[in-house]
Structure 1
Amino acid sequence: MVQQFNPDDPIQEALTPPSSWYTSPNFLSLEFDQVFFRGWQAVGYTEQVQEANSFFTGRLGNIEYVVCCDENGKLHAFHNVCRHHASLLAFGSGKGSCFTCPYHGWTYGLDGALLKATRITGIKNFNVREFGLIPLRVAIWGPFILLNLEKETLSQQDCDDDVGMEWLGSSSEILSTNGVDNSLSYLCRREYFIECNWKVFCDNYLDGGYHVPFAHKDLASGLKLDSYSTTVYEKVSIQTCDGGEEQGQNDFNRLGSKSLYAFIYPNFMVNRQDRYGPWMDTNLVVPLGPRRCKVVFDYFLDTSLKDDEAFVVKSLEDSEKVQMEDIKLCESVQRGLESPAYGSGRYAPMVEKAMYHFHCLLHRNLMK
C-alpha cells in the first residue's frame, strides 16, 4: 500500500495516495509505529502543568501517558501504567503530590519513584528502584508540551537542547517571530469526534484554501483568497492569507492583518494572526481508528481581551461554525474513500503543495 504512492512524481503529475491509506486497519498500525511513535508529538500546553503537583493524561495509539510538574517545578512524563498489574494510575487532569493506583494502592512520586508497594510481604528478588514509572521524554517549545515516544533512550538535556530544530526545523524562528509564542493566555478547549481517518482532516487543512469559498462562505468573506500562499519547510508547511475589509476594531481579520496557518507534521496545526493579532488556536488530530479521529482545539487570547465577552463569544461561535462545516466535509470524504468508485485522485498544483508535502513525508517515514 505504501508503494502505491510515488513521491518522485512531481506534483503536476502525481496521483494522491490510494484510498487504502485511509481505510485499512493494518495501515493505521504501521502509521503508529513509523510516524507517531517516532519523533516529537504535541500533546498539550504549558498552562496545563504550570502549578506544582499538577498533571494531565492522554492516549496515543496504545500508549497511555501522564505529564506532571513536581513540587520543585520540574516537568516529567511517564507511561501512565502501574508496574504491579497494569492499571492506569491517573485520569483526566488535576493536582496531587503522588499517584496512587486505584487497583492495589501502589503509590508513585511525581518523579516516578515507587514510594509504596502494598502487601508484598514474602516477595523475593524485588528491587524497589527497578519498579518506578517508565519515563517518556518530554520537552517544551513555546507554549506547547511535546513527548517523544521512541523506545531508545536520550538524556533529558539532549531533549531540551534539540527539540526546536527536531520538531520544527528551520521554521522554528519563523513561527516564534510571527506570534507563535507565550504571549497569549489560555482560554478554553473544545473536542470533536469525527467519523473520518485522521489524514482526511489534515488533507482538508492543507488544500491551500481551495475549499474555503465553497464550504466556508462567511470565512471567505473575511479573507483575500487570491493572496493565499504556501511555504514548505522540512516538517512544516505554512499557509498565509491577507485579511479582508475592516469590520471592527477587534475583528480577527481586520484590515491589514495576515492569517497564518502552520501545519506541523504529522498532526498538529497552529492558526494565528500576525504577531500583533489577539487570537491563536491549535488543532491536534488524534487517530482513534481507521475511520475515526478526535480533534482537540485549544484557544489562546491576548490577556487584554479575555474580559471582552462579546469578542470571545463571537470568535468561538465563528470557529464552531467553521468546524461544523469541516466535519461535514471530512465525513463525506471518508464515505467516498470507502466507495469502490474511488482509487486515487490528483493534486491542484497551484494550491495543494502543502498536502503533497504531507503525503511525501508520510511515505518517507512509512518506508523506513
Structure 2
Amino acid sequence: MNHDLAIRGCGVTADPARSATLPGWTYTDPAFFERERQAIHYRSWHYAGALGELAAPGDYVTARILDQSVIVLRDKQGELRGFYNVCQHRAHELLRGRGQVTLITCPYHAWSYGTDGHFRAARGSRQLADFLPDDFALKPVKVEVFADHFVFFNLDLEAVSLSEQAAGLADELRQDVVGFDDLVVTPGQPSGPMQANWKVAVDNYLECYHCSVAHPALGDLLDMRHFRMKVADCWMSHKVDLRRENNAAYPVAPDAPVRQAQFWWLWPTTTFNVLPGSVDLSVFSFLPTGVGSTLQIGQCFSLPGSVPDEARHRYRNGLLTDEDVGLCESVQRGLSSRGYSAGRLVCGAGGDDISEAAVHRFQLMVSQATGLL
C-alpha cells in the first residue's frame, strides 16, 4: 500500500462549506495512525484526573495515552508533578490506578524514587562503578490544572499551556455549568471499548445531525429547535434546552436546577458533558487503543452529599452510549469499504442542529497536524 500522503490525497479544505471529509483511509491505515501518535497524541493535552484526587502530599493518579503511561502526583512540598510511569532500572511500571505514596517503589526490584522524581535507593547501586543517581531520576511530563477542577498532562515539555490553547473554555465552564465551583469528583471511572478509530468517535460527538434520527429518546428529552453551536480554535460547545420533563430518556424533576444539555469538546480527546436534572458534570475521553479501537473512559462530578440520579446515569452510560457505539462501529466498518472514499460535510445549510462545522474544524486540525494539508 502506498502511504505517500501527497499521492493518496485529502479533500479537506479551509472553507467548511466546500470541504470534503477526511478520506476513509485515514481511519484505517496503520501508518497514518502512527503519524497521529507522534504529531497529535504525544504533543497534546490529555485528561489525567480530578484535582480533588490530588489534595495531599503523596496523592497520585495514573493515566495513559496510547502506550505511554504517566504518574501525576503531589510531592511533599505540595507541588503537582508528572512523570513517565516507568522504572529507570529495567522499565517496570511503577504505580497503578490511584492512591497515595510516601515513596515510589518499583514492585519488580524495589528501586525507589521520591515524590519529586529523584532517585532514592536501589540495592547494590552504591557498589556500581560510575553510577550517578541524578542520571536515574524519573523523566518528567508537563502537567496543568485547568478550570480549577481538572488535571491534564502533556508529553511535550515545550507545549503551550492548556489555558492559552483553550482560551475562553474555562471561563465558559465556570459560567454555564450550574454549581461548578462546588463540584466534587464521585467514585468510579465508567469506561467501555469501541471498535472504531478515535476520530470516528470524535466526529460523532461533534455533531447532532444524527441525533433526531439515531437518538429518539434524546430528541424527546431535548428541544433541537433551540440547539446552539460554538466552534473555537481547539474546542467547541453544543447547548440545547430541555424539551419536556416527562420524556423517553429519563424523568427530570420540575424543580431540577439544570434545564439545558451542554457538551464541550477539547482537542484532541476530552469532553465535558452536562444533561438536564440535578447538578452533574461528566468528563469523558476518547482514548485511541489501536487504529480501529478506542476506549471511552470518564469521571463524574456532583455536589457534595447529592444523591445520584440513577435513571439519568442508566440512560447516559447505557442506552445513549450503546447507540453511539453502534453508530461508530458501523461507520468504522464502512470506512473499509471499497465503495467509499470520502464524503461531504453539511455546513452552512440549515440550523446548528444539522451543522457539521465542528466536525470540519476537528478534521482540519487533524489534516494540518499530520501534514495532509
Do these two structures clear the TM 0.5 threshold for a shared fold by scoring above it?
A: yes
Determine if contact 1:222/1:253 at 8 Å carries over to the other structure: no
Amino acid at match of 2:80: L
Q: How many Å apart are 1:93 and its aligned residue?
A: 1.8
Would the alpha carbon gap of residues 341 and 254 (structure 1) be closer, same or farther in structure 2, given more than 3 Å must change?
Answer: farther
Determine if contact 1:252/1:279 at 8 Å carries over to the other structure: no
Runs (5+) with no aligned partner, structure 2: 350-354
In the other structure, the counterpart of 1:50 is: 55
CA offsets per residue over residues 229-253 of structure 1, 9 Å max, x none?
Answer: 2111111111111111234995499
Q: What's the secondary structure of 1:189's corresponding residue?
A: coil
Q: How many Å apart are 1:218 and its aligned residue?
A: 1.2
Determine if contact 1:285/1:293 at 8 Å carries over to the other structure: yes
Would the alpha carbon gap of residues 45 and 252 (structure 1) be closer, same or farther in structure 2, given more than 3 Å must change?
Answer: farther
In the other structure, the counterpart of 1:272 is: 274
Would the alpha carbon gap of residues 251 and 290 (structure 1) be closer, same or farther in structure 2, given more than 3 Å must change?
Answer: farther
Amino acid at match of 1:194: M
Q: What's the secondary structure of 1:316's corresponding residue?
A: helix
In the other structure, the counterpart of 1:301 is: 302
| In structure 2, distance between residues paired with 1:234 and 1:175 | 16
Question: Among 130, 139, 156, which residue is 1:134 paired with?
Answer: 139
Q: How many Å apart are 1:2 and its aligned residue?
A: 5.2
| In structure 2, distance between residues paired with 1:38 and 1:332 | 30
Q: How many Å apart are 1:151 and its aligned residue?
A: 4.8
Amino acid at match of 2:54: V
Kindly indicate whether residue 331 of structure 2 is the aligned counterpart of residue 325 of structure 1. Answer: no
1:97-246 alignment, distance < 5 Å: 97-142=102-147, 143-152=149-158, 162-166=161-165, 168-179=166-177, 181-187=180-186, 188-207=188-207, 209-246=208-245
CA offsets per residue over residues 267-321 of structure 1, 9 Å max, x none?
Answer: 11111259x96111121011000000101122112235x2x35xx2112111121
Kindly indicate whether residue 306 of structure 2 is the aligned counterpart of residue 316 of structure 1. Answer: no
Determine if contact 1:61/1:288 at 8 Å carries over to the other structure: yes
CA offsets per residue over residues 69-92 of structure 1, 9 Å max, x none?
Answer: 223432111011111111111122
Would the alpha carbon gap of residues 11 and 253 (structure 1) be closer, same or farther in structure 2, given more than 3 Å must change?
Answer: farther
| In structure 2, distance between residues paired with 1:342 and 1:164 | 39
Determine if contact 2:13/2:20 at 8 Å carries over to the other structure: no
| Percent of aligned pairs sharing the same letter | 25
Determine if contact 1:223/1:253 at 8 Å carries over to the other structure: no
RMSD: 2.5
Question: Among 363, 366, 370, which residue is 1:362 paired with?
Answer: 366
| In structure 2, distance between residues paired with 1:77 and 1:89 | 13
Q: How many Å apart are 1:145 and its aligned residue?
A: 0.7
| In structure 2, distance between residues paired with 1:81 and 1:252 | 51
In the other structure, the counterpart of 1:18 is: 23
Question: Among 94, 97, 102, which residue is 2:99 paired with?
Answer: 94
TM-score (norm 1): 0.89
Would the alpha carbon gap of residues 151 and 174 (structure 1) be closer, same or farther in structure 2, given more than 3 Å must change?
Answer: closer
| In structure 2, distance between residues paired with 1:10 and 1:253 | 44
Q: How many Å apart are 1:196 and its aligned residue?
A: 0.5
| In structure 2, distance between residues paired with 1:134 and 1:144 | 22
Amino acid at match of 1:191: S
Q: How many Å apart are 1:113 and its aligned residue?
A: 1.1
Would the alpha carbon gap of residues 326 and 286 (structure 1) be closer, same or farther in structure 2, given more than 3 Å must change?
Answer: same
Determine if contact 2:81/2:116 at 8 Å carries over to the other structure: yes
CA offsets per residue over residues 81-120 of structure 1, 9 Å max, x none?
Answer: 1111111111222222111112211111111011102112
Question: Among 254, 261, 264, which residue is 1:262 paired with?
Answer: 264
| In structure 2, distance between residues paired with 1:268 and 1:253 | 30
Q: How many Å apart are 1:265 and its aligned residue?
A: 0.8
Runs (5+) with no aligned partner, structure 1: none
Q: How many Å apart are 1:175 and its aligned residue?
A: 2.6
Determine if contact 2:14/2:364 at 8 Å carries over to the other structure: no
Q: How many Å apart are 1:179 and its aligned residue?
A: 2.1
| In structure 2, distance between residues paired with 1:53 and 1:212 | 44
Determine if contact 1:165/1:172 at 8 Å carries over to the other structure: no
In the other structure, the counterpart of 2:343 is: 345
Determine if contact 1:246/1:254 at 8 Å carries over to the other structure: no
Question: Among 49, 53, 68, which residue is 2:73 paired with?
Answer: 68
How many equivalent pairs are there? 354
CA offsets per residue over residues 108-150 of structure 1, 9 Å max, x none?
Answer: 1111011102112531111112211111111101211111211
Q: What's the secondary structure of 2:18's corresponding residue?
A: coil
Deviates more, 1:22-31 or 1:44-53: 44-53
Determine if contact 2:48/2:72 at 8 Å carries over to the other structure: no
Q: How many Å apart are 1:255 and its aligned residue?
A: 9.4
Amino acid at match of 1:314: A
Q: What's the secondary structure of 1:76's corresponding residue?
A: strand
Q: What's the secondary structure of 1:230's corresponding residue?
A: strand
